[in-house]
Structure 1
Amino acid sequence: MMPQFTDICRINVRGGDGGAGCMSFRREAHVPKGGPDGGDGGRGGDVVIQASARLSSLIDYRYKHHFHAERGTHGKGARKDGRDGEDLVLPVPMGTVVRELDPETMEPLYEIADLTHDGERVVVAPGGQGGLGNTHFVTSVRRAPAFAQLGEPAQEHWIELEMKLMADAALVGLPSVGKSSLIARMSAARPKIADYPFTTLVPNLGVVRAGEYSYVVADIPGLIEGASEGKGLGHEFLRHIERTALIMHVVDITGGFEGRDPVEDYRVINEELRRYASELADRPQIVVANKCDVSGMTDRVAELRRAATEDGHPFFAVSAATGAGLNTLMLACGEMVDKLRSELASEAAPVTFDERWERRRREREARFQVICEEPGAYRVTGTQVERLVVQTDWENEEAIIYLQHRLARMGVDAALEEAGCRPGDEVRIVGRAFTYEGAEDPDEI
């Protein structure tokens, strides 16, 4: 039985909870009025997705779906901070797209990251912030703060991992046009080959070496008319072509058992590529007429060559069975791939990928939104705002007053007023409800 190719997985991730800050005062002989000395809680560990060149599938996430990082420990007196939790690093193949899922529908909400480089990583479940000890809340008017922050509980959510093949060139075409035979001839790949449709059900990768060139070719399972609309396994197969720099369009010049028109086959596949993603129609493409060793194909080869040339695509006539024309094809592909790689390298901006994904995450966390849920009741949502609320000790009046000042400084009061909230209305954040008393001076701490 052919091994299953796992290219989409859904997993549940949760960072470690943050440790609580400590409320403590220095107590020593001959120091009757020692100041606050509570240490901070440790930060919870992050769940990190990291691209690895050593992996080729997402099979590790097929049977295990829940991943939790280590929690931080609580702070102690004498300014002793709690220990941070260990990060949990989950390796995935290069070419993995990470998406946030809607917790109810399990449909993708937005893209978190697209990991295309070895070692590139993104935090998908940040650990909870450790609570601050009472040493942080000393001001000119608050000399002995009798409160500290609680640790932030980490958020648990579902994400989707989708692996897209990282190949330089993709062999595409109708079923049984000889793509598997070609990749077997061109590389050391040994795909299952038989003379009937849909022999290949999973993409095969092969490394081709021709002259000074070396590149990776993917044998994409055969497409059918209507693949762009999801017929057969169309969408699953087509998405693997998106990452390849070069399309090698293979056409059975004999027309197969059905006696199809090779030019019509060529048009059908190009139309499916265009319908699935318009940019695929503009992707560099070479047209490969296979099975040219069969007698009486001269006119058909000429017609297909004319159609490809009119579309601006290089044309090659080959035979996977005899090897005729393959060396020329392989060298030409290597030259085109090398040129495309150089163009992409020159266009690429010098950027630290990890910083890009981290910056995007922080921007998402900083946003908050005010929604009128019903007359006289408003809900505030947003990661940072909710974090402040869950870290507040609701049994301590000083801690609650501090929270009110922090929310005002973040602009929450101003946003509530702009949304129509008036004194006496109810404000809801996470599982807490407050009576709005009007905007405070955000400069007050």
Structure 2
Amino acid sequence: MFIDKVRVFVKAGNGGAGCMSFRREAHVPKGGPDGGDGGHGGNVVIEADAAVSSLIDYRFKHHFKATRGTHGKGSRMHGANGDDLVLKVPIGTVVREYFEDTRETGELIADLTHDGERVVVAQGGVGGRGNIHFVTPTRRAPAFAELGEPAQEGWIELEMKLMADAALVGMPSAGKSSLISKMSAAKPKIADYPFTTLVPNLGVARSGDYSFVVADIPGLIEGAHEGKGLGHEFLRHIERTALIVHVVDLTGDYEKRDPLEDYRIINEELALYADELACRPRIVVANKIDVEGTEEAAERLAAQVKADSVAAADGDEFAPSPIDPKLYRISALTGEGVDQLKAAIAAKVHELREAAREELAGEIQYDHVWEHKREERDKRFEVAKLSDGIFRVQGPMIERMVVQTDWENDEAIAFLQHRLKRAGVEKALERAGAVDGDEIRIVGRSFEFESAQTAEDIYKDLDL
């Protein structure tokens, strides 16, 4: 089964709780704090793997969770970190945010185009710190520790786009499947009716010293860019290919279509789907020259291809660009002209690979880019006035501070108050109009606002 788009829910592991403990030894009546840290939770990682060919592993299982960190213990014993959960996907998989409630995709997380390339899609929670970290000159015996940080979670969309050097495109029954079977060892289904091919087929072809991967894309129809005939499902697999091989049926199939009109429709659909496809290098192939009476259609098509090539060279925005001025005439049935076509495709692919080699040196490090975006978003918080005297503070980092706090421990609450002040929450509330006595809500907890200089007097817990 060919699965090329799935949505899955990922949850990293929560951090383990830090330990509040004091050293207890014979003849040492006042041993210092020795509580260990909690272990970090495991991350959820998406990794491109050349051995994986589809997203079928995620067709029926949609929820994935990494292991949590274990809690710290006394005697400075730190908890073990949770194991990362690595989800293998095919090379060419695009990873995006997905919002299940609105059914919309969000930001691009990564475009995994190389074997072994990976990105963290859910960060494990940081383990809570033991009480050994909270010793100060004035607080020699801290009787509190942090709870583990909650892990990141959410839906992501995985979309597989074929990684092929050349894509065979054309109208239904143009002979693309027959051609790929002649060019490579691929064995697609071949029949004399439209839409025989419903999923893309890949084959490896060789010509001389060069080899290339060719994809047989299911037939396109007019309106494919709008989704007609599963157009979007097929067109997206052309986006990555370096070279478009446009196969035109000289016979017009059983509908007796005009080959030039078919040629025009496919060019137009590619351009309307994505501007960059209009500028993708292409080779035009006239198929079924073994059928009598196709000579005249071949000559007309050759003239149009040459004219388009000249127009593209002159910068005409309406011409497919850039385009090989030669029309390659073949018979996918008998094999006539296929070897010459393979040689032309191999040479062009090699040329395009060499041109792209320098670009790979400046390859995007998605882990760094996504991590930077995530950190920026994580630090943001906002203050909303719910009604007179009631305000809500929302933001990932601020909410985690509250969740990490042991609410049965007064010292832990005082430390939270200090952290909130340092994060700028007090000033933000004052700018929003909060005054002494107003109710402040953060993640199910409620506080009474008091503008004070000492952290211990900023908030009073109302224990909601």
TM-score by length of 2: 0.90
- Paired with 2:328 and 2:146, the residues of 1 have a C-alpha distance of 70
Match of 2:70 among 73, 82, 86: 73
Residue matched to 2:343: 331
Residues 371, 304 of structure 1: alpha-carbon distance in 2 compared, 3 angstrom cutoff: farther
Matched, 1:320 2:342: no
Give the Cα separation in 1 of the matches to 2:264 and 2:139.
Answer: 77
The 1:440–1:116 alpha-carbon spacing in structure 2 relative to 1, beyond 3 Å, is farther
> How many residues are treated as equivalent by the alignment?
440
Partner residue, 2:176? 179
Give the letter aligned to residue 44 of structure 1: G
Indicate the residue corresponding to 1:342 in structure 2.
354
Unaligned runs of 5+ in 1: none
Deviation at 1:157, TM superposition (A): 2.1
Separation of aligned partners in 2, 1:350 and 1:34: 54
Alpha-carbon shift at residue 355 of structure 1 (Å): 3.5
Q: Which residue of 1 aligns with 2:377?
A: 364
Q: Which residue of the partner structure matches residue 386 of structure 1?
A: 399
The 1:155–1:359 alpha-carbon spacing in structure 2 relative to 1, beyond 3 Å, is: closer
Deviation at 1:407, TM superposition (A): 2.2
Q: Which residue does the alignment assign to 1:25?
A: 22
1:430 aligns with 2:451: no
- SS in structure 1 at match of 2:95: strand
RMSD value over aligned CA atoms?
Answer: 2.0
Q: Quick one: structure 1 residues 214 and 234, their matched pair in 2 at CA, closer, same or farther if it must change by over 3 Å? A: same
Contact 1:414–1:439 under 8 Å retained in 2: no
Q: Residues 304 and 135 from structure 1, CA distance in 2 versus in 1: closer, same or farther, beyond 3 angstroms?
A: same
Say if 1:408 and 1:439, in contact at 8 Å, map to a contact too. no
For 1:391-402, list aligned pairs within 5 A.
391-402=404-415
Cα distance in 2 for residues equivalent to 1:136 and 1:204: 59
Where does 1:205-216 land on structure 2 (aligned, <5 Å)?
205-216=202-213
What is the alpha-carbon distance in structure 2 between the residues aligned to residue 420 and residue 320 of structure 1?
76
Assess, with a 3 A threshold, how the Cα gap between structure 1 residues 432 and 294 changes in structure 2: closer, same or farther: same
Shift of 1:148: 0.5
Q: Deviations over 1:186-226 (max 9, x none)?
A: 11000000010000000000001111111111101101111
**Stretch moving more, 36-45 or 395-404:** 395-404
SS at match of 2:371: helix
Distance 1:271 1:141, change over 3 A: same
* Among 304, 309, 313, the residue aligned to 2:306: 309
Q: Cα distance 1:186–1:416, how it changes in 2: closer, same or farther (>3 A)?
A: farther
Distance 1:252 1:191 in 2: 18
Q: Is the 8 A contact 2:401 2:416 kept in 1?
A: yes
- After TM superposition, the structure 1 stretch with the greater mean CA deviation from structure 2, 286-295 or 202-211, is 286-295
Question: What is the percent sequence identity of the aligned residues?
Answer: 66
Q: Distance in 1 between matches of 2:278 and 2:419?
A: 53
Instruction: For residue 279 of structure 1, report the CA deviation from its aligned partner.
Output: 1.2
Contact 2:438 2:449 in 1 (8 A): yes
Residues 62 and 325 from structure 1, CA distance in 2 versus in 1: closer, same or farther, beyond 3 angstroms? same
The reply on whether 1:416 has 2:413 as its aligned counterpart is no
Is 1:127 matched up with 2:140? no
Q: Show the counterpart of 2:318.
A: none
**Is 1:254 the counterpart of 2:251 in the alignment?**
yes
Instruction: Point out the more displaced range, 46-55 or 293-302.
Output: 293-302
Partner of 1:267: 264
Listed one character per residue, the Cα deviations across residues 317-369 of structure 1 (whole Å, up to 9, x for unaligned) are: 11111212211211111111112112222123055444444344333333333
Within 5 Å, give how 1:277-316 maps onto structure 2: 277-312=274-309, 313-314=323-324, 315-316=327-328
Cα distance between partner residues in 1 of 2:394 and 2:423: 13
Deviates more, 1:29-38 or 1:79-88: 29-38
Answer yes or no: is the 8 Å Cα contact 1:408–1:440 preserved in 2: no
Q: CA 1:112–1:441 in 2, change beyond 3 Å: closer, same or farther?
A: farther
SS at 2:419 equivalent: helix
Rounded to whole Å, the distance in 1 between the matches of 2:288 and 2:394 is 62
Is 1:407–2:420 an aligned residue pair?
yes
CA distance in 2, matches of 1:426, 1:242: 53
Q: Secondary structure at the match of 1:233?
A: helix
Q: 1:375 to 1:6 in 2, by over 3 A?
A: farther
The farther-off stretch of 122-131 and 84-93 is 122-131
Deviations for 1:368-389, whole angstroms, at most 9, x for unmatched residues?
A: 3334444544433332222211
The yes-or-no answer on 1:243 pairing with 2:240 is yes
The Cα shift of 1:421 comes to: 4.1
Residue identity matched to 1:196 = Y
Quote the residue 2:315 is aligned against: none
Partner of 1:97: 94
> CA distance change for structure 1 residues 104 and 138 in 2, over 3 Å: closer, same or farther?
same
In the alignment, residue 66 of structure 1 is paired with which amino acid? H
> CA–CA distance in 1 between the matches of 2:162 and 2:454?
55
Conserved 8 A contact 2:110-2:366: no
TM-score when normalising by structure 1: 0.93
Q: Distance in 1 between matches of 2:390 and 2:106?
A: 27
Hey, what's the Cα distance between the residues in 2 that align with 1:288 and 1:372?
A: 66
Between the aligned partners of 2:229 and 2:285, the Cα distance in structure 1 is: 24
Structure-1 separation of matches of 2:192 and 2:181: 15
Aligned-partner SS, 1:256: coil
CA contact (8 A) 1:96 1:116 kept: yes
Q: Residue 413 of structure 1 contacts residue 439 of structure 1 at CA under 8 Å; is this kept in 2?
A: no
Instruction: Write the distance in 1 (CA, Å) between the matches of 2:44 and 2:377.
Output: 17
Deviates more, 1:181-190 or 1:315-324: 315-324
Q: Distance in 1 between matches of 2:350 and 2:230?
A: 31
Paired residue for 1:170?
A: 167
The alignment partner of 2:228 has SS state of coil
Q: Deviation digits for residues 379-410 of structure 1, max 9, x if unmatched?
A: 33332222211101112222122112222222
Structure-2 change in CA distance of 1:217 and 1:42 (3 Å): same
Task: Give the conservation status (yes or no) of the 8 Å contact 1:131–1:150.
Answer: yes
Report how far residue 70 of structure 1 moved: 1.1
